[in-house]
Amino acid sequence: MNKLIVIYDGQCDLCKRSLSWVQKRLTVEAITYQDGDLAKFGLTSAECAKSVYVIDGQRQYKGADAVALLLKKRGNKVLAMLVTASGPLGRWGYLWVANHRSSLLVRTLTRLIRV
């Protein structure tokens, strides 16, 4: 089994809390894009500032697809299926949250994640 690598925004509270929640059931190597060697993965800071990335062996996932993969591997298959099945709507939702990290809605969501 490949080790999952998650590259995320280490300054985003939602990202940090979500990752802690994932790590309760799934072992991942977590790398903040601010401190990681992104070139090793063929990524840039600009790309990683916009989206979470998950590296699973030779495959790279980003945004909603990365979230769905983490949910599936964590054992939350129904949630993973919902994210995947939502298609463009789910990807739009991910982008909206990523671009509004400091909004009241996202800050409230962050507080609801139990770690």
> What is the structure's pLDDT at 55?
97
In total, how many domains does the chain have? 1
Please measure the distance between the N-terminal and C-terminal CA atoms of the chain and give it in whole angstroms. 26
Cα angle at 7 between 32 and 56, to 5 degrees? 150
Q: What residues in the chain have per-residue pLDDT under 70?
A: 1, 115
The whole-model pTM stands at: 0.90
Supply the range of the domain harboring residue 23: 4-112
